[in-house]
Structure 1
Amino acid sequence: MRWSIVLMLSATLAGASAPIITTSSESNLALNASLANNRDSKSFDPLTYSSVEQRLAKLETQAQQTSENTDRVRARLVIADIHLNNRKFREAIAALDKLEIEYPLLADYVLLKRAQAQTQLRDLQGATTTWQSILTNFPNSPVAAEAMFALGQNQQILDKFPAHPRSQEAALRLLAQAPNRVDLIAHLATYFGDLKGISPTLDRLVASSPALTSEQWWAIADAYYKNFEFGKAANAYARATVNPLTAYQYARSLHRGRQIESAIVAYNRVVQQFPKSPQAPRALIRITQIESPEVAIAATDRIVANYPDTAGEALAIKATILQDKLGSPQAASNARNLLLERYGNSDAASQLRWRIAKGQARGGQLNNAIATVDAIIANSPDSDSAAEASFWAGKWANQIGDKSRAKKFFEFTIRQHPSSYYAWRAAGSLGWQVGTFTTARYTAPAIAIPSARTPLPAGSAKLQELYVLGLDRDARSQWQTELGAKRNLEPSEIFTDGVLRVAVQDNLVGIKTIESLDLIDVSSPQKVEIAKIKQHPAYMQSLYPFHYWDIISNWARERRLSPALVIGLMRQESRFEAQIRSRSGAIGLMQIMPDTGTWIASKKGVSNYNLDNPSDNISFGTWYLDYTHSRYSDNSMLAVASYNAGPGAVGRWVEERGVGDPDEFVNNIPYEETRDYVSKVLGNYWNYLRLYSPSVQQQIASLQQSSNLNASAK
């Protein structure tokens, strides 16, 4: 039996606050255990619309009726977790009774939840006994860190579980008592470099000139780099462990810090020291961006001679330099011809062909443009350019009256590039019920959110069990402990880390971590590994999670907006970070400017609101999205553009040149940010439909099945 029911029902709601205890030692124990419970307060159950009572009823039925002991004990642990997070502590203890004996894989986590429940019931003697039992029987488990924290053993946590989240809290507590303890600052830098506002702490550490290891310098450098402190990052990378990654990051830090001459020297050193690394050709590409045209040309030639996987990109750069900087059109043409002839299946060749096709179309040579797109599809069907090109080829085929060919192009776009914005445009062109620029607002097919999880590609069996059960905070703590201070992660570890971050609503970093798999320079075997990872169900589901779905659904229904459109816009605005602030001061999930919030409040007739509160923010954001739709006769393309650029700007564009072909309108939006924003938001909207709407999934499956049958017939 699939373990879908338990995961589907494993809600983790707001944790309980600590009871008032009279003695200081008891107060410390209660507070620490309460904090352990409250760490789940941000968790969100995106896997069901049912109430807590319905979830529990289904789980309890499952626990009683299933013939599989594994499923029964799993259900009991999840039931206990639900009770614990809904302040039903006696019920939680009842569900956990003797469960550590029946569930040896997670016996330590059974004891953890029992201790938490006992503390909340003020059974501090029982809680202390349970915490001590954890330390005795599971001294090496991450749960022991929770026990140490509850018992006030802060230094012991740092020593034994340095990467556990409780270690961060313990270090901060001890630092509050002894601000000059360099070892604590070094600990935070080594294991918790993503701690918000860590740069001043790093400055103190560097200024104290302690005897740091090269691994610690690497951690410090990474933390500085992520905080855009490129000069400081370069100084730290210069002392870090020497390997291709740190050598390249040192050069990149100099480059981004505008120390150009030093960056050139550092990039060249990467190639000299690590000529066979994936970073070597990337360093040469960077040199072409900052060196003289002549030196840049020499760098592209070195790439072509030594790095065939990057040769296409190098030839495209060479052609541009020859054409634009050296005024050698014939030499540029020769470089482009070589690119097409020898590296015709590269992304660079696809981009070149797409530029050629667009030029042909602008000149009215639609048949030639279509033929060029055919060459893109034949040589590099998976390239990003192929998605856009095949959609436009479908439009051009329609213009010349070749409906059959247009249909094939649109179907290729959906089949080969299903996550792209152009797949949505192609689906709409085929008449699928997925919304168009003028109907997306009202397109709201039924959504079915998956309830089963597939084990992740990295981590222990214990981690996999926690993740499959939906005990995400526990899984994240387990993972951090297992990962330790490792810096050079394998693709499987990067993916696992990103998925678990999103699961606990560390969305901004989590989504960026998963997306980084498309950006990192890796070896050929790792490229194959990444392609396999992208087939994992959690890959797309973590990139497009359902945080705040209940609130979104309610307000979207009230405003007569597609929930998929609202969540797609929210994903682009904030990555679901409720407390986020933009550089311009926009607030929260839907990034409401304070002045706009005041104006919306006056229109809504409310005076008491908080834009940091998810419900208020979504209420105001959906009101404004409804308003922008009303300004443009429910045209979602213009409404979304207006949400970003403002109604005044969009009004001017429409007045000056009309809408005309809406695809052309999007391509010609004067603001680059808004142009990108429109395609991203509507692409997000499409991905929520294709991933979670059974009707859309059926259309895609039918298309794929038809393609497979045609291929078999041939």
Structure 2
Amino acid sequence: MRWSILLMLSATLIGSSTPIVKSSTDNPIAVGANFDDQSPNSVQSVQIFDPFTYFPLDQRLVKLNAISGGSDQIRARLVKADIFINNRQPKEAIAALNQLEQSYPLLADYILYKRAQAYTQLGDRQLANATWQALISQYPDSPASAEAMFAVGQNEQLLTKFPAHPRSQDLVLRLLSQNPNRVDLLLHLVTYFGDYKQIVPIADRLMASSTKLTADQWWSIAEVYYKNWEFTKAATAYSRATVNPITAYNYARSLQRSDQDATAIAAYNRVVQQFPQSPQAPRALIRLSQVASPQNAIAALDRLIANYPDTASEALAIKAEILQNKLGSPQAASVVRNQLLEQYGNSNEAGELRWRIAKGLAKSGQLAKAIAAVDNLIATSPNSLDAAEATFWAGKWANQMGDKTKAKNLFEFTIREHPDSYYAWRSATSLGWQVGNFTNVRYTAPAIAIPSERQSLPAGSAKLQELYILGLDRDARSQWLTELAGKKILTPKEVFTDGVLRVASLDNLAGIRALESLDWIDVPAAQKAEIPKLKQHPAYIRSLYPFHYWDSILKWSQERQLAPALVIALMRQESRFEAQIRSSAGAIGLMQVMPETGAWIASQKGVKSYNLDSPMDNINFGTWYLDYTHSRYGNNTMLAIASYNAGPGAVGSWVESRGIGDPDEFVNNIPYSETRDYVSKVLGNYWNYLRLYSPTIQQQINTLKH
């Protein structure tokens, strides 16, 4: 009788006695094509919708209300409902959702989920429960049903059917608080939620238990330790884990990083012997050369050069250094370097060698020859990692020689070919672009236009794509985790998708790291070839440089007369937008304010109550301090940023001892390597925000393209 009543209530609240779910062919919300073009003659159709993700709430609602007609209006209703729920306006959410599933079958399960949330907020337990039960009944395989199972207490069903859903993590943690010794729950966490912040103590408890674990379970434990830099423990776990190229390599790497070099050497050799065709085999030989004796290192590198041509240039560069610095054979080293230039002239290593040659020539005053060496670098390895730095400095040298045309060409090359580099910014300033220089960045604030439209990601179901495109990021992330189901080895497409969804749902540290890993992950050649195309997807660069906390940044930047792009650039470097992060030194939050610095700032501001974990307070105090460091050094942004990292005392001593002189030389000669790197990265971030989101700067860059 009770179930019948619930079904009747369910029918009432969804607007039909028989739920209407059209087939996918009737769905007015067209699902975009896959990211990959499936045939050489097909035209790629990509789903695009603008959920106005970075706009303030009131502006989002105005824009969403302005959408009229077609599938975008249907989408806008669901987005508005989600906004209303997040702002505890359940009546408005229920109105927006009214009978929406009839015209939006692709997300009918999530519409029911939102409706149940709204009834829960409204305090109508009967309608909420009926909706949860209807969701489980009608969509038993949907991750949205995991939310329903959690809400109605179907614990066993939730853990069994949706083990990787975030609600399963919530449930496991709750059950562990009641019974901390349940090994099945501990295993559930390490298997599906290895990025849980307190996961290392969980792994420790499993290691200490007497329970017999499977090889795959040991693999999960090993991954937890490895990703958290617990390498001694990782080595122990990997020694018992499933054997494959990745676990074998990570075992050897864990041994090396825990200073067990002799055992690491044997382990790296086993990787090459057992998995000679894997991407990990050449990487193992590179690592072997780092821990073996010089003679054995040379032998390992020779094996690599002979068998793995894609990594041979790296091996030759290392071999030359060993011959030069460890074996005292400069002539042999020279032969190897010539081999590198002749056989692998377009490699990163060849570019690095040419740049070293050019710097040596410049240091001895032979600027014309130094520029010629850079010209050679451009001709042979224009995309090498050192090309941006080399061409910028060659432009400076050309200016010193009075060759303004040559300098302009070199600066333009840097911007055109390496637009994401710090040296592209330095080149733009050298060309007189209005992008700020070392002395006036704080006052340089060209208009920013923030795009928020979304288009399909390269991996994941049609439902996932739609949730992401709408900006329902937490739901998209839950859907994605459920689809991955704890998968340990991801393809580049999956790494990309995972990274984008993490950033979208404010898991920025891991998300940005995942996207950056596309530059160095060892994967099969076919997958490696996919990566350049993946990086052309708009979500790649926008996820690397997102606009989290932009409203607060604008507020405090304007109050302190600081360029907003500079503040967000510094925040990205300090915390990757993680509001609750702590540094090893104890710095807190988005702008990494030290507690004692926060107390001093509070005394200067006359503030008695503040919380550095609060994004608003943290940005308030961080921008105040950045303004202070600017005021200490005559608004010189280079010195202000260095001071933010190293402290005013250290920077003051550097300026006093040697002056500023050429600011580029000053940056290169900052005594603290961390601060030296910090200054270039913050200003590189600043440049990337301008070149990606300032229409004026974009237009200038576009004029340089062929």
In 2, Cα distance between the equivalents of 1:75 and 1:608? Answer: 40
Amino acid at match of 2:602: A
Further displaced range: 453-462 or 70-79 = 70-79
In 1, Cα distance between the equivalents of 2:439 and 2:66? Answer: 46
Is the contact between residue 155 and residue 170 of structure 1 (CA under 8 Å) also seen in structure 2? no
Residue in structure 2 matched with residue 158 of structure 1 by the alignment? 159
In 2, Cα distance between the equivalents of 1:190 and 1:57? Answer: 43
Amino acid at match of 1:142: P
Q: What SS does the aligned partner of 1:567 have?
A: helix
In 2, Cα distance between the equivalents of 1:274 and 1:168? Answer: 35
Is the contact between residue 6 and residue 78 of structure 1 (CA under 8 Å) also seen in structure 2? no
Following superposition, the deviation at residue 439 of structure 1 comes to: 1.5
Is the contact between residue 493 and residue 534 of structure 2 (CA under 8 Å) also seen in structure 1? yes
Residue in structure 1 matched with residue 63 of structure 2 by the alignment? 58
Deviations 1:661-711 (A, max 9, x none): 10011000000000000000000010111111111111111211xxx2xxx
Further displaced range: 423-432 or 80-89 = 80-89
Residue in structure 2 matched with residue 122 of structure 1 by the alignment? 123
Amino acid at match of 1:358: K
Give 1:549-560 correspondences, 5 Å limit. Answer: 549-560=550-561
In 2, Cα distance between the equivalents of 1:390 and 1:167? Answer: 53
Following superposition, the deviation at residue 451 of structure 1 comes to: 2.4
Q: What SS does the aligned partner of 1:703 have?
A: coil
Q: What SS does the aligned partner of 2:530 have?
A: helix
In 1, Cα distance between the equivalents of 2:647 and 2:481? Answer: 42
Structure 2: unaligned runs, 5 residues or longer: 1-29, 31-45
Name the TM-score, length of structure 1 as normaliser: 0.91
In 2, Cα distance between the equivalents of 1:115 and 1:6? Answer: 26
**Are 1:186 and 2:187 matched, yes or no?**
yes
Amino acid at match of 1:517: L
Following superposition, the deviation at residue 215 of structure 1 comes to: 2.1
**Are 1:173 and 2:178 matched, yes or no?**
no
**Are 1:247 and 2:248 matched, yes or no?**
yes
Give 1:292-307 correspondences, 5 Å limit. Answer: 292-307=293-308
Amino acid at match of 1:521: D
In 2, Cα distance between the equivalents of 1:451 and 1:316? Answer: 43
Q: What SS does the aligned partner of 2:64 have?
A: helix
Give 1:409-448 correspondences, 5 Å limit. Answer: 409-448=410-449
Give 1:64-213 correspondences, 5 Å limit. Answer: 65-66=68-69, 68=70, 70-213=71-214
Residue in structure 2 matched with residue 231 of structure 1 by the alignment? 232
In 2, Cα distance between the equivalents of 1:577 and 1:314? Answer: 38
Following superposition, the deviation at residue 232 of structure 1 comes to: 1.2
Following superposition, the deviation at residue 361 of structure 1 comes to: 0.3
Is the contact between residue 573 and residue 682 of structure 2 (CA under 8 Å) also seen in structure 1? yes
Q: What SS does the aligned partner of 1:7 have?
A: coil
In 2, Cα distance between the equivalents of 1:57 and 1:427? Answer: 38
Following superposition, the deviation at residue 6 of structure 1 comes to: 4.7
Give 1:234-633 correspondences, 5 Å limit. Answer: 234-633=235-634
Residue in structure 2 matched with residue 689 of structure 1 by the alignment? 690
Q: What SS does the aligned partner of 2:194 have?
A: coil
CA-atom RMSD in angstroms: 1.3
Deviations 1:563-602 (A, max 9, x none): 1001101111111111111111111111111111111111
Is the contact between residue 47 and residue 455 of structure 2 (CA under 8 Å) also seen in structure 1? no
In 1, Cα distance between the equivalents of 2:81 and 2:585? Answer: 44
**Are 1:7 and 2:8 matched, yes or no?**
no
Following superposition, the deviation at residue 235 of structure 1 comes to: 1.4
Deviations 1:176-209 (A, max 9, x none): 2222211111111100111112112112112223
In 2, Cα distance between the equivalents of 1:533 and 1:344? Answer: 26
Give 1:26-41 correspondences, 5 Å limit. Answer: none
Amino acid at match of 2:613: D
Following superposition, the deviation at residue 84 of structure 1 comes to: 1.4
Is the contact between residue 4 and residue 451 of structure 1 (CA under 8 Å) also seen in structure 2? no
Amino acid at match of 1:55: R
Change over 3 Å in CA distance of 1:141–1:308 after alignment to 2: same
Residue in structure 1 matched with residue 702 of structure 2 by the alignment? 701
Amino acid at match of 2:469: V
In 1, Cα distance between the equivalents of 2:148 and 2:308? Answer: 53
Change over 3 Å in CA distance of 1:568–1:423 after alignment to 2: same
Deviations 1:372-408 (A, max 9, x none): 1111111111111001101111111111111111111
In 2, Cα distance between the equivalents of 1:349 and 1:223? Answer: 37
Deviations 1:103-142 (A, max 9, x none): 0000000000000101111111111111111111100000
In 2, Cα distance between the equivalents of 1:243 and 1:4? Answer: 40
Following superposition, the deviation at residue 3 of structure 1 comes to: 7.6
Name the TM-score, length of structure 2 as normaliser: 0.92
Is the contact between residue 240 and residue 246 of structure 1 (CA under 8 Å) also seen in structure 2? yes
Structure 1: unaligned runs, 5 residues or longer: 9-44, 709-714
Is the contact between residue 49 and residue 469 of structure 2 (CA under 8 Å) also seen in structure 1? no
Amino acid at match of 2:629: T
Following superposition, the deviation at residue 165 of structure 1 comes to: 0.3
Identity of aligned residues (%): 71
Is the contact between residue 6 and residue 59 of structure 1 (CA under 8 Å) also seen in structure 2? no
Q: What SS does the aligned partner of 2:701 have?
A: helix
Following superposition, the deviation at residue 265 of structure 1 comes to: 0.3
Q: What SS does the aligned partner of 2:683 have?
A: helix
Is the contact between residue 163 and residue 480 of structure 1 (CA under 8 Å) also seen in structure 2? yes
Is the contact between residue 553 and residue 563 of structure 1 (CA under 8 Å) also seen in structure 2? yes
Q: What SS does the aligned partner of 1:408 have?
A: helix
Further displaced range: 516-525 or 76-85 = 516-525
Following superposition, the deviation at residue 522 of structure 1 comes to: 2.1
Is the contact between residue 393 and residue 406 of structure 1 (CA under 8 Å) also seen in structure 2? yes
In 1, Cα distance between the equivalents of 2:487 and 2:60? Answer: 39
Amino acid at match of 2:698: Q
In 2, Cα distance between the equivalents of 1:464 and 1:672? Answer: 42
In 2, Cα distance between the equivalents of 1:647 and 1:375? Answer: 42
In 2, Cα distance between the equivalents of 1:433 and 1:262? Answer: 56
In 2, Cα distance between the equivalents of 1:263 and 1:129? Answer: 59
Following superposition, the deviation at residue 55 of structure 1 comes to: 2.7
In 1, Cα distance between the equivalents of 2:129 and 2:144? Answer: 14
In 1, Cα distance between the equivalents of 2:676 and 2:461? Answer: 44
In 2, Cα distance between the equivalents of 1:55 and 1:556? Answer: 22
Is the contact between residue 5 and residue 59 of structure 1 (CA under 8 Å) also seen in structure 2? no
Q: What SS does the aligned partner of 1:450 have?
A: coil
Is the contact between residue 6 and residue 74 of structure 1 (CA under 8 Å) also seen in structure 2? no
Following superposition, the deviation at residue 515 of structure 1 comes to: 0.9
Amino acid at match of 2:150: F
Is the contact between residue 285 and residue 314 of structure 1 (CA under 8 Å) also seen in structure 2? yes
Q: What SS does the aligned partner of 2:608 have?
A: coil
In 2, Cα distance between the equivalents of 1:441 and 1:72? Answer: 41
Amino acid at match of 1:629: H
Residue in structure 1 matched with residue 37 of structure 2 by the alignment? none
In 2, Cα distance between the equivalents of 1:61 and 1:670? Answer: 56
Give 1:666-681 correspondences, 5 Å limit. Answer: 666-681=667-682
Following superposition, the deviation at residue 5 of structure 1 comes to: 6.5
In 2, Cα distance between the equivalents of 1:234 and 1:209? Answer: 19
Change over 3 Å in CA distance of 1:561–1:411 after alignment to 2: same
Residue in structure 1 matched with residue 34 of structure 2 by the alignment? none
Is the contact between residue 157 and residue 167 of structure 1 (CA under 8 Å) also seen in structure 2? yes
In 2, Cα distance between the equivalents of 1:646 and 1:428? Answer: 26
In 2, Cα distance between the equivalents of 1:607 and 1:544? Answer: 34
In 1, Cα distance between the equivalents of 2:49 and 2:164? Answer: 32
Is the contact between residue 578 and residue 614 of structure 1 (CA under 8 Å) also seen in structure 2? yes
